[in-house]
């Protein structure tokens, strides 16, 4: 991998935006166009999904991540045709109605291709090129950035942080070999993907170790089950989809804690469901950690 000065992550172009890494924390808002989303915010109707994307943009999202397949453990995979039916119309409309760039959350080549053609500006691959290596070729061909996640669902391990770093090194090497520019690669340790609850916490404690990879880090801890596990929420709060979006639900406060700690540990993007609240957490954390002054 190319040598870089410590802390020098450069910048990444994404649509009409340029992410200047290190200057502040960027917020990725989530639009789940899937009725069985783990977080309770899944949307089956395209019009509602478009309205949700516009709301997130107005609340301060720097990028909107559109996905058409639930990633919760045990969920039933959907076909490419169904994922395309869910995702492409939403991406197409949002590309014309919001000014922030769009990301497509998929590990399927044809879904990614069609979404980029419809106006998406980034690929978010939860399998880090394990399931579909040619996503890197597509990103290189289209000149789009790609998020590479470390996913342990097929390979559980005991020593989690070294395993995540090794896996991300592998993914970065694959992407570079396919022609993806160094500046277009973003990494994600994959909180909740094949990790135990204890391992999720360990990753959060040791996020700064990912800096050895020299690429900006995305943290996706929002509303994850380990928050409910730590805060000992009742079974009803864990399973009731309505409870996940109530103002007093502890997963909101728990997410805020993980976002603030993540920023202190060097995270560059946070992928969140509650954009308005987490954008404020980012601003406050950036003021402390990066010395960023309020607007």
Q: Active-site residue 24, yes or no? A: no
Per this entry, what is the length of the chain? 295
Check if the beta carbon of residue 176 is closer than 8 Å to that of residue 1.
Answer: yes
Question: E-strand spans in 101-219?
Answer: 102-105, 122-125, 146-149, 185-188, 218-219
The C-alpha atoms of residue 37 and residue 72 are separated, in whole angstroms, by 7
DSSP annotation of 176 reads H
Catalytic residue selected from 271, 276, 283, 290:
271
State the pairing for strand pair 146-149/269-272: unpaired
Catalytic residue selected from 24, 195, 224, 251:
224
Q: Active-site residue 224, yes or no? A: yes
Q: Is the dihedral of CA 237, 243, 247, 252 positive or negative?
A: positive
Bridge partners of 188? 149
Positions marked catalytic: 224, 271
């Amino acid at each position: 991998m190319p040598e870089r000065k410590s802390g020098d992550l450069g910048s990444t172009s994404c649509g009409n935006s340029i992410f200047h890494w290190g200057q502040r924390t960027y917020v990725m808002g989530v639009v789940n166009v899937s009725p069985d989303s783990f977080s309770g915010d899944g949307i089956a109707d395209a019009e509602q999904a478009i309205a949700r994307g516009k709301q997130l943009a107005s609340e301060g999202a720097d990028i909107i991540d559109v996905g058409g397949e639930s990633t919760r453990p045990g969920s039933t995979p959907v076909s490419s045709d169904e994922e395309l039916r869910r995702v492409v119309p939403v991406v197409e409309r949002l590309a014309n109605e919001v000014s922030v760039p769009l990301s497509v959350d998929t590990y399927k080549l044809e879904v990614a291709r069609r979404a980029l053609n419809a106006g998406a500006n980034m690929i978010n691959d939860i399998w880090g090129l394990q399931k579909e290596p040619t996503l890197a070729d597509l990103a290189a061909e289209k000149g789009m950035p790609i998020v590479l996640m470390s996913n342990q669902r097929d390979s559980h391990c005991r020593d989690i942080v070294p395993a995540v770093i090794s896996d991300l090194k592998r993914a970065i090497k694959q992407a570079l070999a396919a022609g993806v520019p160094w500046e277009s690669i973003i990494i994600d340790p994959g909180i909740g993907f094949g990790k135990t609850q204890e391992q999720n916490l360990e990753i959060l404690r040791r996020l700064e170790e990912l800096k050895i990879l020299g690429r900006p880090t995305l943290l996706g801890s929002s509303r994850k089950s380990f928050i409910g596990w730590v805060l000992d929420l009742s079974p009803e709060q864990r399973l009731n989809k309505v409870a996940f979006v109530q103002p007093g639900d502890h997963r909101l406060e728990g997410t805020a804690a993980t976002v603030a700690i993540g920023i202190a540990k060097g995270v560059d993007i946070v992928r969140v469901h509650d954009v308005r609240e987490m954008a404020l957490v980012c601003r406050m954390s950036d003021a402390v950690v990066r010395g960023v002054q309020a607007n």
